[in-house]
Chain A
Amino acid sequence: DAGITQSPRHKVTETGTPVTLRCHQTENHRYMYWYRQDPGHGLRLIHYSYGVKDTDKGEVSDGYSVSRSKTEDFLLTLESATSSQTSVYFCAIRAPDTQYFGPGTRLTVL
């Protein structure tokens, strides 16, 4: 158990509303990641962070932003949710060369 929690675990929202997902870790790891999982695509990287206030884009970053103001928290924001962002979102940490994942957040955008 890498001490990773995600909140909320489930969320239903409407198109056009902002949504923020939170990833929290208890072990002070430097690297944190946000992925989305969709059938037939595996996991695709949205954004990652390599330190407080240090972030970079992944393969599918359009429509998403992130923030990391504390080592333990990595936030993913959908500024204006769309139906194409309905997915399961996973947070991960890297320690030191292996990723460990949170339990996931299932997001439905109606």
Chain B
Amino acid sequence: AQSVTQLDSHVSVSEGTPVLLRCNYSSSYSPSLFWYVQHPNKGLQLLLKYTSAATLVKGINGFEAEFKKSETSFHLTKPSAHMSDAAEYFCVVPDTGNQFYFGTGTSLTVIP
């Protein structure tokens, strides 16, 4: 069965410093993986996705994530945080059928 664990429920960074949001997955095969962002009172927006073409995936707004099979991780990073990055972030893994499994989310606070 597939599952994801987001290791931090809250992350605070200062504006201009790097962002690291951690996600570990459990899967019986090499899966697709997704990161979504949700700004306050908004819907979920696709940030990036991994589909086995390349282990380093670039997304929107300067975010990227690296798929590491040996560590079963798909951590999200950004070199320099901006105030507009303050949001909830979700790591998602699909199963071999029709369902998608969400992590419990990481709330990112950016301190001016």
- Whether A42 touches B105, Cβ cut-off 8 Å, given contacts A98-B49, A100-B46, is yes
A97 within 8 Å of B by Cβ? Answer: yes
What's the Cα separation between A98 and B103 when bound, in Å? 16
The stretch from A11-19, A43-51, A63-71, A73-81 touching chain B is A43-51
Are A98 and B46 interface neighbours, CB within 8 A? yes
Are A103 and B46 interface neighbours, CB within 8 A? no
Are B34 and A50 interface neighbours, CB within 8 A? no
| Chain B residue at smallest Cβ distance from A100 | B46
Interface size in chain A (residues, C-beta < 8 A):
23
B-side contacts of A40, CB under 8 Å? 9, 104
What's the Cα separation between A43 and B105 when bound, in Å? 9
What's the Cα separation between A50 and B98 when bound, in Å? 8
A56 within 8 Å of B by Cβ? Answer: yes
What's the Cα separation between A109 and B32 when bound, in Å? 36
What's the Cα separation between A58 and B100 when bound, in Å? 10
B43 within 8 Å of A by Cβ? Answer: yes
A31 within 8 Å of B by Cβ? Answer: yes
| Chain B residue at smallest Cβ distance from A35 | B102
- Whether A102 touches B98, Cβ cut-off 8 Å, given contacts A40-B104, A43-B90, is no
Are A104 and B43 interface neighbours, CB within 8 A? yes
Are A103 and B43 interface neighbours, CB within 8 A? yes
| Chain A residue at smallest Cβ distance from B46 | A98
- Whether A42 touches B104, Cβ cut-off 8 Å, given contacts A98-B34, A100-B46, A101-B44, is yes
What are the 4 tightest A-B residue pairs by CB atom distance, in nearest-first order? A42-B102, A101-B44, A42-B104, A43-B102
